Amino acid sequence: MKIDAILLAFYFVLFLLLSKLSPFIFGAIIIGFYFSIIMDVPANFLNKKLNKRLSRIISYTLILGILAYSIINFVPLLISQGKIIFKSLSNISITNNEKIPYWIADFLNNANKQLSNYALNLLNTILSYTPSFITMTILIIITTAAVTNIKWYIAKNTEKLFIENPKRGKNFLKAFYKDFEKFVKGQVVVAAIVGLLVGILSWLFKIEGAFFLGSLSFITDFIPFLGVVITAIPMLMLGWVSNGFYGLLIGFLILLIVNQIESWVLAPKIQSSNLKIHWFILIISILIFADLFGFIGILIAIPSILFIKRFWNEYVLGGKHE
């Protein structure tokens, strides 16, 4: 194998190693790269009607505003709603009743106690991760704003990473970035539809915080699989606080239906055809990377598959099979 190919493989392995060792920092940087591309989508649309500078200002303000709003409100909302739910659960107690056998009453009381303890532990866990989330949020916003301005610097110095054929190496990284950009732009369409569906359905069924839930769904949809779990926590909490068990059920059904529409209609139709990779391979790749790298594995799975595909075509097959 040629030296440049070995160097590329080394860079890729180094990236995976650093992602494993410093997941929060690299996770923030990767999300920053995601959002630097995301912001260009509405900017390109607005360019048709406004000048380029104003389009970028509006687009960046909109996306960064939604990002900051969703993340900043996430933890406080969980804490406030969690306290309400915890208090409600603590006040529930089934006393002796002739119509209810004592063993059933004991079972329900014990179950309620366990559920209350689980809710309390969940809140404590969230609080323990709050400093990391704050750090990650700051890094995401800084990286998102900075990446757009340093792309020219990266492009200018890319050739220094290669020895034999710097121009070919630069073209490889440029093509890989275009593949990644295509994936993110396709995900913007999917995420926008998901966010609108969650927000509108939450509003129709009178679940409190519909705008927040729609915004959070849009932001977290860029995190495959884990995104719906992140949204589910405040969705179910707000559903319970808004309408009790009925609201909890409605919130669960909204997430289930929207997730199924995304998994079986939107993602295969838009992303699989967009990337020219079978949707099942994408799903398996995400699961494997998540198992190996944890949270950050979900973020780097698709970019890694795109890199491996591009590397194989360019340096193993000689660029003859695109």
pLDDT at 189: 86
CB neighbours of 89 closer than 8 A, spacing ≥ 6?
Answer: 112, 115, 116, 119
pLDDT at 207: 92
Q: What is the mean pLDDT of each run of 10 residues along the chain (322 residues)?
A: 86 92 80 80 82 84 82 74 64 54 59 58 59 64 70 79 88 89 86 93 92 91 77 85 85 91 76 72 85 86 90 81 52
The answer to whether the pTM exceeds 0.85 is no
**Cα 28 from Cα 198, distance rounded (Å):** 25
pLDDT at 11: 93
**Cα 42 from Cα 199, distance rounded (Å):** 20
CB neighbours of 18 closer than 8 A, spacing ≥ 6?
Answer: 26
CB neighbours of 147 closer than 8 A, spacing ≥ 6?
Answer: 32, 33, 36
- Nearest CA to 262 among 220, 204, 316, 296? 220
pLDDT tens digits for range 113-162 = 565 565 556 556 655 655 566 666 676 677 776 766 677 777 788 888 88
pLDDT at 106: 64
Structure tokens at 44: 């390109």
Whether the Cβ atoms of residue 275 and residue 181 lie closer than 8 Å to each other:
no
pLDDT at 90: 57
pLDDT at 265: 77
- pLDDT over 90 for what percent of the chain? 16
pLDDT at 254: 94
One DSSP character per residue, 18-66 reads HHHH-HHHHHHHHHHHHHHHHTHHHHHHHTTTS-HHHHHHHHHHHHHHH
